[in-house]
Amino acid sequence: MSRHVALAASLSLASLTGCAGYTQNVRAVRAYMYEEPSLAVALDRVEDLDEVTKLVDKLLTATPYSPGDAWVDKLAPTADDFARIKAELRATPPYDDVAFEVPVAKVYRVHLERVLASASPTGAHPSLLAAVAELSGARELPARWDEHAQKLKAYLDADDAFEREYERAYPRGNPSAVEVESVKAAREARNAAEEELDRASAAVLAELRGLDAKARADAKQAKELTRAVSVAYRANLEALAIVPVVLVQVVRAARDAARAGSAGEGASLKSGKQLLELPGHVSGTKARMVRQTRLLEAMTRALATASRQRLEDTPGFELKESVVDQVVGVTKDSFRVNLRAGGEAFFFSTVSNQYDPQKQQESGQQAREIKDYKGRLRGLKYDVKPIMLFAARLDVGFDYIKLPNAGNFSLGFKTDRAFSSGGSVDNQGSFAQQVGATGAASDALDLGLGLLGVKTNVRVANFTAGTVKYIGFNSDGSEGGTVANPFTGQPTEAPLQIQFRQIDVGYDLSFLMGESASKYYLEELTVGGKFYQYALPRVMYELESTDAPDADTKTYRYFNESAPQLVTSKYYMVGANIRGASPPSSPFGWFMDLGLYFGTGPTAFYMRRNKPNSQNVDFDTDLSDASRQELRKKTATAANVTLGGGARYRFSNPSSRLKVSGEALYRAELIYARTKGEDGSSNTSSGSAANSSHIVDFGTTDVFHGPRFNLVGEF
């Protein structure tokens, strides 16, 4: 897509989305995300924002103008002007440290200061705005513009007053159910000021609507005025683009200065604003610039039409150096390639779902549900050997205008073939067949595709991770050891096979939070759904409760059990995943993941028709007598909890386009499932008590976990 098409598309988007369309430039965030907090840099950039705002106002309303003035021709900086000024700034603090990028807005500030200083103190028109008004016949434009400036100041003052009153009334940030009258009055005053400001904005826009048609008579002067106004618009865009970045940097610099005890006198702007006041000051500057940019865009567009130019071809947009998405559009810098390679250890563990009723009561805990497995006869014990996997992943993504990670394609592959850590599978024996052991190698494939913020991921994994043993239990509930195969006399066991089929679809909402996400260390907030097809060797346990349906605590006791089998469940889940991370500006960083999903889905398994006892549970009955088993198709409910954390270290220079880092993390995924209950009258197992309720439990909460180590290259 060409730069011109991208500009037009994004400006149309801005008009649809209102104020938000001018901020949250992805290019600006990418340009400054690796900078470490610096008090000097933060203060300098806040002053740049203030000065650009003043210079734009001075250019439009306080600089005399005559047609043909030489200073107007110099307003649009050339590539040579930009390079020269940037080199000068690089030689002076704070940008003599190459770790900090020189903002384009600062170059515009210096350039406009020099050009306006060369303007004549007298002219045919008292200001450019007056010349625009005369050219177009919009005589009320200067007065309407001045009224808008006054209403904007009144609104910002009212907003500050509301914030101060709110903090005074609610110092702990916990408002009562009934709003304090003083806060209510301040809120109403702010709302009234905003309504007046909206009317003033509408009045200015009304004056500008007919400007293009009225100004066509003098196309030469219209073109000259277009130059000046488009430069003002561009300077405002460049400054506004870095406001979210500056706000985050100010907050972090203030936090670091407070920790170091240096946030007192001296840590302030030339205006006298103290450091701790700066976040509010920057927010006010943002509100002012957003309103001003909206009017400047309308005026530039109208003058460009009058002078027979396209907006993107006006002099204000000739300079290609920019951090404004709609100016630069989609270029090669919009694409990113991420390659990571390393190792992963994969563990499978289980946590018993059984609760000891006596210990539960002794602890004083109030449980809604207690499960007592005492009396069960058989089970499976997983003797897990960790799989050592080599892992590689390639991500290719791009940012579209205003939208980070608009598209992403990822492909990952993990295998233990190089290490043979998964062992082999011998399925000649009937027990191995019963629990579904059919493969030998441990592989996993990850395939992801993201478009316009929607992320999809497909994971296919088959692991041979150790041994599953068929065990017995003693009458007191304790484990009795491995059941011997009566034909061989050897313990009954087989390789453990784990099967995954997982599809994730989510939408990352963190970019909608703007600078707030960075301030609160939020890197990702993904909400969506998950499809999980999940198979493991199981012995299923049927539990019975005779407690009343409305009992505070229901105790489910062992009732029936199945033969060992491979049980496959399908879960359709919804939930969210949050990733918190330290700023990428720090060479050494941390990150933490928390995910929580709930869902339901079908499952099927065989259950004994009759309650077993020690006399009729034997190897033959368990594995071969289908007449004593029935197929049950159930709906299972499931919960999926993901916990993770780790650290990363960046080896490369922050100013380098190629970023090289190392990361280590530990991640655990817990899955708990059970079937929905049924009453005793509908239960197909014999011997159920009247008015009882039954559930079938999977016996364990399964945990998949392990460490990962990666070397990451990003370009």
From first CA to last CA, the distance across the chain in angstroms is 21
CA–CA separation, 48 vs 113, rounded Å? 12
CA-based nearest residue to 405, from 504, 340, 457, 334: 334
Structure tokens given for 384: 């897990």
pLDDT, tens only, 121-147: 888 999 998 988 887 777 888 899 999
CA–CA separation, 533 vs 529, rounded Å? 13
Give the model's pLDDT for residue 560. Answer: 87
How many Cβ atoms sit within 10 Å of the Cβ of residue 665? 19
Q: How many residues does the chain have?
A: 715
CA–CA separation, 210 vs 224, rounded Å? 18
Give the model's pLDDT for residue 554. Answer: 83
pLDDT, tens only, 546-560: 888 778 788 888 888
What are the extents of the domains in the chain? 3-138+214-274+294-329, 140-209, 349-714
Q: Are 116 and 58 in contact (CB under 8 A)?
A: yes
Q: Which of 52-56, 181-185, 220-224, 482-486 has the lowest mean pLDDT?
A: 482-486
Which bin fits 256, alpha (ψ -120 to 50), beta or left (φ > 0)?
alpha
Q: Which of 236-245, 495-504, 704-713 has the lowest mean pLDDT?
A: 495-504
pLDDT, tens only, 236-293: 988 888 888 888 788 777 776 666 655 444 456 655 556 667 777 888 888 888 888 8
In Å, how far from its chain's centre is CA 37?
22
CA–CA separation, 715 vs 214, rounded Å? 50
Mean pLDDT over the full length of the chain: 77
The answer to whether residue 408 scores a pLDDT higher than 70 is no
CA–CA separation, 694 vs 558, rounded Å? 10
Give the model's pLDDT for residue 19. Answer: 39
Give the model's pLDDT for residue 24. Answer: 64
DSSP state of 403: E
Task: Look at residue 169 and give its three-state secondary structure.
Answer: helix
Give the model's pLDDT for residue 253. Answer: 73
